[in-house]
Every structure is written in C-alpha cells, then in structure tokens.
C-alpha cells in the first residue's frame, strides 16, 4: 500500500476507536522490571542438571565466547615459558669450564731427557 492510498474501513475504524486505549495499554506495560543479572548461568545450570552433566559441565563450555578464554590461556602459557627461560638462561650461558687437554709435545723443542 502506498503512503497516499487510503486505509480500509476496518483499519480506519480500528484506529479511530482504539488508539487512545492502545496507548494506555502501551504506557501501562512500558516499565518492565529487569532481572538483576543475566539469566544465562541459571539456564546453563538447569540444562546441566537435566542432562545429568552432559552439557555445560566445564568452565570452558559455560563461557560465552571461547576465544578470549583461549587467548588468556595462551598468554599465561607464554608468560610461564618466558619466566622459565629467564630463570634458566643464565645457567645455560655460563657453562661449567672443562680443563684443557695437555698441549702436544714438540719433539724438537722438548728438552731431551
């Protein structure tokens, strides 16, 4: 229907008769209370209980988006490896000195017995 095309009779009657009542209804239902926090954890709990732990058992499966969690894990592993490297690196760069083997004896210069 184009904007200038007249509405049908039912539409006009309905609008004329009921618009104030509708606005009253809308304003009455405008202020809806909200749950204090997301219902997601409770929903996950219910599903876990009803599926006997088949779903939403692990912390990983309950996370909303696994990518940040994976990133955090990767970062922690990286930090741990760096720490290990820093602790053991001085030991690796300062090896225990081995005694030098005795120099070969030159028969020409060596003092005769």
| Residue for token pair 């732990």 | 53
Measure the CA–CA gap between 112 and 106, rounded to whole angstroms: 11
Contacts of 40 (CB under 8 A, 6+ apart): 64
Residue 40 binds other proteins, judged by CB under 8 A: yes
Closest C-alpha to 40, from 56, 21, 58: 56
Residue 25 binds other proteins, judged by CB under 8 A: yes
Residue 43 binds other proteins, judged by CB under 8 A: yes
Closest separation in Å from C-beta 62 to other proteins: 7
Contacts of 85 (CB under 8 A, 6+ apart): none
Contact assessment for residue 27 and residue 6, using Cβ atoms and an 8 Å cutoff: no
Residue 64 binds other proteins, judged by CB under 8 A: yes
Taking the least distance from each CB to other proteins, the nearer of 25 and 77 is: 25
Residue 70 binds other proteins, judged by CB under 8 A: no
Residue 15 binds other proteins, judged by CB under 8 A: no
Q: Which of 1, 4, 5, 29 binds other proteins (CB under 8 A)?
A: 29
Q: Can you give the binding site for other proteins, defined by CB under 8 A?
A: 10, 14, 18, 20-22, 24-35, 38-40, 42-44, 46-47, 50, 55-56, 61-66
């Amino acid at each position: 229907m184009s904007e200038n095309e007249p509405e049908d009779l039912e539409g006009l009657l309905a609008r004329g008769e009921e618009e104030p009542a509708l606005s009253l209804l809308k304003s009455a239902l405008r202020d809806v209370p909200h749950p204090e926090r997301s219902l997601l954890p409770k929903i996950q709990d219910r599903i876990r209980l009803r599926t006997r732990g088949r779903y939403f058992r692990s912390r990983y499966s309950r996370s909303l988006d696994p990518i940040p969690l994976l990133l955090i894990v990767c970062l922690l592993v990286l930090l741990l490896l760096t720490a290990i490297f820093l602790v053991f690196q001085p030991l690796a760069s300062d090896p225990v000195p081995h005694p030098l083997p005795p120099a070969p004896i030159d028969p020409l210069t060596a003092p005769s017995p």
